[in-house]
Structure 1
Amino acid sequence: MTTIQRLLKLPTCDLSDALRKCGVPYGGVLDGIKLWSPEHQRGDTRIAGPAYTVKYVLNSSEDKKVSGHYIDTVPKDHIVFISTPPVVNAVYGGLMSTRAKYLGALGTVCDGLVRDLQDHRDLGFPVFAKGTSTIGPAGAVKVTELNTPVNIQSPRQPELVINPGDFLVGDLDGVVCIPHNLVEKVMTITEEIIQDNEKVAADVKAGMAFQEASQKHRRHK
């Protein structure tokens, strides 16, 4: 079974618990990012794969804009991760998903706003974001870096960084980032957490107190 296949079987909540036990800040959760396509916080959509990062900055920045369009550079079997300043503009639209899907991308995670929701949904393409807008990025922001470390644009997570090749996993509960050097350890711990929780649930359903069942079965405190 590949890493992606294993990750697709693991809920983000259990992954977060494992990440916390591995010392990853915030359990790897990406603040405020939710599922918008193919449905808004509904269905069984799950994505997992290595991150291909895109960095937007304000147009007023002296940093040079990349040549061409970033969407044409997205590698197959990766998840597009977009970092952007907190502007009212959407930085990702329907044509981007059209191209990303053709290139074999697994989904998009945007640390900002997106638009053209119906287009993404018609494509059946997974899109996670902080929200939506009607106006595009022109005149407000520009892309200056591709596949480099990027920060999460959240005042609650100023030090959280997404590195190229870190694994992103998204489902109804949100998106988590797993550092690439920890992915095997995190998957193993998560699988153990799930096994233990199933035993806890069985005993609780049979009438055992939650605290007693937890102490009896959980290997990872």
Structure 2
Amino acid sequence: MSKVSTTKKVLQTLTQFTPCDVSDALVKFGDKSGGYFPNLTNYSSPSDGSSVSGKAFTVLYAPLSDPRPAVAFNYIDCIPSPADERILVIGLTPNLQTANAPYHTLTNALYGGLMSTRANYVKCRGSVVFGRIRDVSEHRSLGYPVWSYGVGSTAPKVSVKVVAVGEPIDVVMYDGVDGKQTQMRINDGDYIVADAVNGVVRIAEKAGLLEKVLEYMPRAVAADELVAEDIKQGVEAGKAQKARRANL
């Protein structure tokens, strides 16, 4: 099986599950965060309300004062082929981020309607923006899925520049276990799963992790469906969970 057809099969499978299902599997295999990125809001939903999955295509913005030159092309025209396997992920350098709301120091929007128009045309699966967006009505009119920290009205070029495409993005947040400030990395090509109500998660590129997640999720979801049926019949939740999840 070719790499392309394998990726499409993986994405087809991932889209059948929610971000919660993915997080449960990641916790099972040692990722205490569940791969979850907090504080993002869905501003434009998938047209059918389903989960969206894709491989991250990363774009990094930095302050104009950053010593790195701005990239000499428009990132939106460089989504790797096949673009219909990709989710656009846009981030800021850590010095423009905060662990507390609003999670960044920039009032400018990083992403707007024209970018979604192009992304939608090449069949990109959605955009996740760790910053502000603008032109919300345009994203919605396209039925193109977009998540972000918030909205703004001013274009980014007066404050920031794109310094890297296809390179890692580090997202500043609080550790969900001990409350310490930390960073979660998204690498280009990481798998992203998102929906309108549960948010955004990523499956990191680690040896064998994706295969474990894909094998575990159907069994875990089936077990929880049985737990739900047991509870509806009057079985205590703890007993139902213990019995149905015994072989997971």
Pick the TM interval, shorter chain.
Answer: over 0.9
Q: How far does residue 121 in structure 1 lie from its aligned partner after superposition?
A: 0.6
Q: Which amino acid aligns with 1:65?
A: A
Of stretches 208-217 and 180-189 in structure 1, the one that deviates more from structure 2 is 180-189
Q: Which amino acid aligns with 1:127?
A: V
SS at match of 1:63: coil
* Residues 1:161 and 2:185 are matched in the alignment: yes
Q: How far does residue 93 in structure 1 lie from its aligned partner after superposition?
A: 0.1
Query: With structure 2 as the length reference, what TM-score do the two structures score?
Result: 0.83
Q: How far does residue 43 in structure 1 lie from its aligned partner after superposition?
A: 6.8
The residue that corresponds to 1:9 in the other structure is 16
**Aligned with residue 96 of structure 1, among 111, 115, 118:** 115
SS at match of 1:26: coil
The residue that corresponds to 1:175 in the other structure is 200
**Aligned with residue 189 of structure 1, among 216, 219, 226:** 216
Distance in structure 2 (CA, Å) of the matches to 1:219 and 1:96: 48
The residue that corresponds to 1:27 in the other structure is 34
Distance in structure 1 (CA, Å) of the matches to 2:73 and 2:32: 35
The residue that corresponds to 1:217 in the other structure is 244
Contact 2:172–2:183 (Cα < 8 Å) also in 1: no
The residue that corresponds to 1:52 in the other structure is 57
Contact 1:193–1:219 (Cα < 8 Å) also in 2: no
SS at match of 2:156: coil
The residue that corresponds to 1:113 in the other structure is 132
SS at match of 1:153: strand
Distance in structure 2 (CA, Å) of the matches to 1:141 and 1:220: 51
Query: With structure 1 as the length reference, what TM-score do the two structures score?
Result: 0.93
Contact 1:34–1:175 (Cα < 8 Å) also in 2: no
Q: How far does residue 168 in structure 1 lie from its aligned partner after superposition?
A: 0.3
The residue that corresponds to 2:87 in the other structure is 79
Q: Deviations over 1:132-189 (max 9, x none)?
A: 1111112111100001111113355633100111100101210000023422211221
Q: Relative to 1, partners in 2 of residues 1:158 and 1:185: Cα closer, same or farther, differing over 3 Å?
A: same
Identity of aligned residues (%): 36
Q: How far does residue 38 in structure 1 lie from its aligned partner after superposition?
A: 3.5
Q: Which amino acid aligns with 1:216?
A: A
The residue that corresponds to 1:150 in the other structure is 169
Contact 1:80–1:109 (Cα < 8 Å) also in 2: yes
Question: How large is the RMSD of aligned CA atoms in angstroms?
Answer: 1.8
SS at match of 2:37: coil
Contact 2:131–2:149 (Cα < 8 Å) also in 1: yes
